[in-house]
Chains A and B, each alone.
Chain A
Amino acid sequence: MTEQTRIASTFGALKEAGHLAFMPFITAGDPDIDATLSVIRELGTHGVDLIEVGFPYSDPIADGPVIQASYTRALDKGLYVDNIFDGVASLSADELPPLVAMASYALLFRRGVEKFVKQAVESGFAGFIIPDLPVDEAEDAGKIVRANGADLIQLVSPMTPKERAVETLKAASGFVYCISVAGTTGVRDDLPPELTDQLNWLRTQTDVPLAVGFGIKGPEQVDILRDAADGVIVGSAIVRMMEGLGRSPEGDAAVLAKIGTFADSMVQATRKK
């Protein structure tokens, strides 16, 4: 790695300023791609640091009911991977925060990992989270992603033993996705106390930034993570707000404004105190 990736430089700048990264997750294509693009623009306007874009998949075993249902809705309306690539390509990705594609390995394998990654990067994605591709199977995909100047994000869970985490960290780049709780995605009331212990230990093992996801619902949980993590990911909470797009009686503008207000509160919470 001679040149810094977009994700690495984003985290680098935040660290220098003493901020945490705020990375919202959104489902692509729910209710349609145009709505997804409006949400990406809205989040960009409100100063989020990175955006994770979920590629709907028919059998997402790592996801809880909220994200699962959004995937089903998007696929029922006939969403294809090409629609996501084309939509994202129509944005000016350079002016937006780095976009990270969250996609099942089933989708990458079907298209061919090389082709999928190349098309994704060309359309503006800066990194990949492949939740069902454990580090043991990720060597080839990692090479392809790096060759395209992007990052393949590795995941560590509370169930990951230390020896395994050490191996995972060797392959890590961009940031490490630290899953806060054993289980699927979804909002939870509390974060487990062991989480900070694990983050503190991971910190002694790697310089790659640590971002925490799964179960984070809002600004109130940021302070607990301030000293231990470099970023927070919020998924289901925003996907739930997006359920109103195209459906809410108040109209899309009101839903977007609500998402914007939430993003503001998270951005504020993640800045240096």
Chain B
Amino acid sequence: MSTEAAPQKATSKVPDASGRFGEFGRRFVPETLMHALEELTREYERAQQDPEFLARLDKLLSTFVGRPNPLYFAERLTEHCGGARIFLKREDLNHTGAHKINNTMGQVLLTQRMGKKRVIAETGAGQHGVATAVACARFGLECVVYMGEEDIRRQKLNVFNMKMMGAEVRGVSSGSRTLRDAINEAMRDWMSTVEHTHYIIGSVVGPHPFPMMVRDFQAIIGRETRKQCLETETRLPDEVIACVGGGSNSAGMFYPFIDDETVALTGVEAGGRGPEPGDHASTLTYGNKGVLHGSYSYVLQDEDGQTQDVHSISAGLDYPGVGPEHSFWKDTGRVNYVSVTDDEALVALQTMAKLEGILPAIESSHAIAHTLKAAKQRSNDEIIVVCLSGRGDKDVYEVARLLGQDLD
């Protein structure tokens, strides 16, 4: 593999047939999965050309998920910052309370199309697990969700929710017992069940075609935002901000704006307790190029290439890798990636709740924290859109604990 790529301009015309976003992406997986990935790519491409498939998905998104969700002018937050006008893309209003369901509806329809009866998924915060369990319940598919033991402890509500939907939640006790190990376990399951099982990966990570496919299913966020902003404000936003763990809500939000050169794009990573290894999950800010979970991208790793432990207040952002397209956007300079600490996110969560009456997910609170800073740097005739990727109900116990309050 060549590591010296010529300086490139970002484009929406990626990936190529082998799954390359510039130099990133591709497939670094065991031979046992290669054929399934090739088949999945072909089936996905056919589905994208099939008007009936697209119509079914559109109908589900409007009648089951509740799309389009609003682009909401956050008046009091705007006043509070005294700068750019802040708009919220309300993914928190989707069924299941986050953007994850955009992808699981698409992939469940694909699973049906392939004639597979069993679905597996990994989950960190539990939002993707719930969105997968819901999609499987809706279509009568068997569903197994892998979840790190540490995350099961942090996200009890979502675990119970998944079980109510008929999903089996399998605790993962290997390695760091978080999202990264849940992905490892899901891939191992898939190695031996690939003939009748589809793996619904929850972010824009993993081997080709997953980063492309998940981005495409999530791109409805950015397409709606673009349209809504043009309709009500008669112009495009000046800046679009979203949080980045694996990077699915941000990829879906940014992608439709990639070729709009006037729109600044900012991805916000989890800065945790600070910049020391193990204290954060800011892969693009502090990581190096490497291979993780079947894809070539930026990775938080040691000098040997062993994946490093990460920390974030948010179970949905504490991932030591990132989607390959984000790496491409970073290296081309198209997206600016910044980092926000645990404490800043916690303050932003409370500010949003008090000023707007909206309790954001702790993940989305990272994007809001940066928005509070960015808005102040811009004038009041400029527009910032922030992706409110999920609601915060799932986080109340953890937030209460961090604020020193006891709910029991």
Contact = CB atoms under 8 A, between A and B. Distances in A.
Given A132-B28, A159-B35, A184-B191, A105 B306 contact: no
A167 to B, nearest CB: 11
Interface in A10-24: none
A109 B290 contact: yes
A59 interface: yes
A184 B307 contact: no
Interface string B344-367: 000000000000000000000000
B301 interface: yes
Contact of B180 (A59, A75, A134, A161): A59
Given A61-B184, A136-B27, A110 B34 contact: no
Contacts of A133: 28
Most buried by B among A62, A64, A135, A155: A62
B304 A107 contact: yes
Nearest to A55: B304
A159 B194 contact: yes
Given A61-B188, A105-B291, A109-B290, A182 B180 contact: no
Contact of A81 (B30, B36, B290, B304): B304
A181 B194 CA distance: 12
A155 B305 contact: no
A109 B295 CA distance: 12
Nearest to B321: A59
A234 to B, nearest CB: 19
Contacts of B36: 159
Contact of A182 (B192, B289, B303, B306): B192
A128 to B, nearest CB: 15
A184 B33 CA distance: 11
B174 A68 contact: yes
B18 interface: yes
Contacts of A59: 175, 180, 184, 292-293, 307
Contacts of A184: 188, 191-192
B307 A58 contact: yes
Interface in A143-160: 155-160
Nearest to A63: B188
Contacts of B296: 109
A129 to B, nearest CB: 11
A263 interface: no
B160 to A, nearest CB: 27
Interface in A179-216: 179, 181-184
Contacts of B30: 61-62, 131-132, 134, 155, 157
Contacts of A57: 305-306
Interface in B162-201: 174-175, 180, 184, 187-188, 191-192, 194-195
A181 B34 CA distance: 15
Interface in B277-320: 288-294, 296, 299, 301, 303-307
A57 B296 CA distance: 16
B291 A109 contact: yes
B29 A179 contact: no
Contacts of A182: 32, 191-192, 194-195
Contacts of A136: 18, 27, 34
A198 to B, nearest CB: 13
B391 interface: no
Contacts of B299: 106
A110 to B, nearest CB: 3
A82 B2 CA distance: 24
A28 to B, nearest CB: 12
A155 B1 contact: no
Interface string B3-36: 0000000000000001000000011111111111
Contacts of A168: 31
Given A57-B306, A81-B304, A106-B292, A134 B191 contact: no
Contacts of B291: 104-106, 109, 132
B185 to A, nearest CB: 9
Contacts of A155: 30-31
Interface string A158-178: 111100100010000000000
Most buried by B among A81, A111, A182: A182
A86 to B, nearest CB: 14
Given A61-B187, A72-B175, A136-B34, A181 B192 contact: yes
Nearest to A56: B306
A140 interface: yes
B28 A156 contact: no
Most buried by A among B27, B192, B291: B291
B154 to A, nearest CB: 21
Contacts of B303: 110
A113 interface: yes
A110 B28 contact: no
B287 to A, nearest CB: 12
A102 B31 CA distance: 15
Contacts of B307: 58-59, 106
16 contacts: A59-B292, A60-B184, A61-B191, A61-B294, A65-B174, A75-B306, A104-B291, A106-B290, A106-B307, A107-B306, A109-B289, A134-B34, A157-B30, A182-B192, A184-B188, A184-B191
Interface of B: 1-2, 18, 26-36, 174-175, 180, 184, 187-188, 191-192, 194-195, 288-294, 296, 299, 301, 303-307
Closest 3 A/B residue pairs (Cβ)? A110-B305, A183-B192, A157-B32
Given A59-B180, A134-B28, A135-B31, 18 more contacts: A58-B307, A65-B174, A81-B304, A109-B1, A110-B288, A110-B290, A111-B304, A133-B28, A134-B27, A136-B18, A136-B27, A137-B1, A137-B27, A159-B32, A160-B35, A164-B34, A179-B31, A182-B194
